[in-house]
């Protein structure tokens, strides 16, 4: 265990380039002791490379990696994977097919004498509730059981950190939720520090104590699940972490404050923005958009339903507004505005809106003082929420 307050895993300005383009570009990351951090981003953004760098399967070109206070890669040298105390769990289990469950789990424990090794194998198989299957071979197990063996094998040598690369993606939909709950339960129960790579937004948000959103080798935002979903730092994070639509909006000075309006009417007041007069964009998620039947084209939010998607508990409506822009709205399953129906969209009350200027979120009047940054803004740096 690392002393409290010291990160178990630390990446300091780590860059790794294959060919011309960096796969991982100046990444800083701290994973605290006992924390479960999820790393998410589009395919090819560098998630697996981050794990491989931590594991020692790749060497950084520049920067340093520190595990439990010891530099394992960087100016001081390079510690090979087998001496890093890192556990790995991959999508495809990677169990030895000719070894029993118990011998698979014992694999990394060859430095222990036999009695202690057997006791540790029993202990970790108990943790993953596979004590009864110790004598089976991998092909005699379900996919979920195999993944639990893989976790037991990773945990057995008491690693500093367990790295999980898309560990559930080879499992079918129904099994995935169950195996995920079991594995995450074991990680939490044992207080294990873990980094889990996923491309599934729901998984990143529901499993992580903190979420790292990556884009093109860079960390776009790090925060709690609530922060990255409710206060995205950029247009990319807003649209990658869940559905989002964007409408031009205006901050108006109001007596004693400021009011945010857009094509569908008043969004909210903006405490602390008193006297500001500025063009921005507002991020609207489908659960933040209300619909009522009927439309008067003189009224804000008038539109027509262009698509209805039934999802069971909720129905996703797409509405084309008078401007031609489209918005999506979740409605309870009993509500069905048919395609072609006139509707009026409005913002649900109590919303704390995310505002954008160019591609970055803005949180204070100072952020909208100059011209919009747009795509030319330096990526990965921002004066905004992080």
Least separation, in Å, of the C-beta of 284 and ligand ADP? 28
Residue 53 interacting with ligand ADP (CB under 6 A): no
By beta-carbon proximity to ligand ADP, the closer residue of 41 and 286 is: 41
Least separation, in Å, of the C-beta of 219 and ligand ADP? 12
User: Which span (41-49, 141-149, 202-210, 224-232) binds ligand ADP, by CB under 6 A?
Assistant: 41-49
Among 49, 146, 318, 331, binds ligand ADP (CB under 6 A): 49
Helix axes 143-155, 173-189, angle to 10 degrees: 20
Residue 44 interacting with ligand ADP (CB under 6 A): yes
Query: How remote is the C-alpha of 234 from its chain's centroid?
Result: 14
Residue 46 interacting with ligand ADP (CB under 6 A): yes
Least separation, in Å, of the C-beta of 19 and ligand ADP? 6
Least separation, in Å, of the C-beta of 23 and ligand ADP? 3
Cα–Cα distance list, 286 to 116, 345, 364 (Å): 55, 11, 25
Residue 202 burial by Cβ neighbours in a 10 Å radius (0-12, 13-18, 19+): exposed
Cβ pair 23, 17 in contact under 8 A: yes
By beta-carbon proximity to ligand ADP, the closer residue of 125 and 164 is: 164
By beta-carbon proximity to ligand ADP, the closer residue of 44 and 275 is: 44
Query: How remote is the C-alpha of 37 from its chain's centroid?
Result: 8
Token pair for 109 = 């424990």
Among 8, 9, 29, 45, binds ligand ADP (CB under 6 A): 45
For the CA atoms of the chain, what is the radius of gyration?
A: 25
Across-strand partners of 27? Answer: 14
By beta-carbon proximity to ligand ADP, the closer residue of 155 and 197 is: 197
User: Which span (45-53, 65-73, 227-235, 284-292) binds ligand ADP, by CB under 6 A?
Assistant: 45-53
DSSP state string for 285-324: -GGGEEEEE---TTSTTEEEEEEEEE-SSEEEEEEEETTS
> Which residue, among 178, 116, 179, 194, has the nearest Cα to 149 in the 3D structure?
179
Instruction: Determine how many CB atoms are found less than 10 A away from the CB of residue 81.
Output: 14
Least separation, in Å, of the C-beta of 377 and ligand ADP? 23
Rounded to whole angstroms, the Cα distance separating 187 from 155 reads: 9
The structure tokens 């996919």 sit at: 143
Residue 48 interacting with ligand ADP (CB under 6 A): yes
By beta-carbon proximity to ligand ADP, the closer residue of 22 and 353 is: 22
| Sign of the alpha-carbon dihedral angle for 156, 157, 161, 166 | negative
Least separation, in Å, of the C-beta of 38 and ligand ADP? 13
Least separation, in Å, of the C-beta of 196 and ligand ADP? 12
The structure tokens 């560990």 sit at: 167
| Sign of the alpha-carbon dihedral angle for 375, 379, 380, 382 | negative
Residue 43 interacting with ligand ADP (CB under 6 A): yes
Least separation, in Å, of the C-beta of 208 and ligand ADP? 16
Cα torsion for 240, 246, 252, 256, to the nearest 10°? -40
Least separation, in Å, of the C-beta of 41 and ligand ADP? 6
By beta-carbon proximity to ligand ADP, the closer residue of 166 and 281 is: 166
By beta-carbon proximity to ligand ADP, the closer residue of 48 and 318 is: 48
Rounded to whole angstroms, the Cα distance separating 236 from 242 reads: 11
Site string for ligand ADP, 10-29 (x = CB under 6 A): --------x----x------
Residue 96 interacting with ligand ADP (CB under 6 A): no
Per CB under 6 A, residues contacting ligand ADP are 18, 23, 41, 43-49
């Amino acid at each position: 265990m690392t002393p409290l307050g010291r990160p178990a895993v630390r990446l300091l300005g780590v860059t790794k380039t294959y060919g011309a383009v960096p796969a991982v570009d100046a990444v800083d990351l701290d994973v605290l002791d006992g924390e479960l951090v999820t790393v998410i981003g589009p395919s090819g953004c560098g998630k697996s490379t981050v794990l491989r760098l931590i594991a020692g399967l790749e060497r950084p070109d520049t920067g340093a990696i520190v595990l439990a206070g010891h530099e394992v890669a960087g100016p001081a040298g390079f510690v090979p994977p087998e001496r890093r105390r890192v556990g790995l769990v991959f999508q495809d289990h990677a169990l030895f097919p000719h070894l029993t469950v118990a011998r698979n789990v014992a694999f990394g424990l060859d430095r222990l004498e036999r009695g202690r090794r057997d006791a540790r194998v029993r202990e970790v198989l108990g943790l993953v509730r596979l004590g009864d299957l110790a004598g089976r071979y991998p092909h005699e197990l379900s996919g979920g059981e195999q993944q639990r063996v893989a976790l037991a094998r990773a945990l057995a040598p008491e690693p500093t950190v367990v790295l999980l690369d898309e560990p559930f993606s080879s499992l079918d939909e129904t099994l995935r939720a169950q195996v995920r709950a079991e594995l995450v339960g074991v990680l939490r129960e044992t207080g294990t520090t873990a980094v889990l790579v996923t491309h599934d937004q729901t998984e990143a948000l529901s499993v992580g104590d903190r979420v790292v959103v990556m884009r093109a080798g860079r960390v776009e935002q790090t925060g709690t699940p609530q922060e990255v979903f409710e206060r995205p730092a950029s247009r990319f994070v807003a649209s990658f972490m869940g559905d989002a639509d964007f409408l031009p909006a205006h901050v108006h000075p109001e007596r004693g404050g400021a009011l945010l309006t857009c094509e569908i009417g008043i969004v909210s007041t903006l405490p602390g923005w008193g006297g500001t007069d500025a063009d921005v964009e507002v991020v609207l998620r489908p659960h933040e958009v209300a619909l009522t039947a009927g439309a008067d084209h003189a009224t804000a939010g008038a539109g027509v339903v262009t698509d209805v998607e039934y999802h069971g508990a909720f129905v996703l409506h797409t509405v084309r507004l008078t401007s031609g822009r489209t918005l999506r709205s979740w409605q309870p399953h009993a509500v069905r505005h048919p395609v072609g129906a006139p509707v009026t969209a409005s913002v649900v009350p109590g919303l704390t809106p995310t505002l954008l200027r160019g591609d970055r979120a803005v949180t204070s009047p100072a952020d909208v003082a100059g011209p919009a940054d747009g795509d030319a803004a330096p990526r990965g740096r921002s004066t905004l929420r992080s």
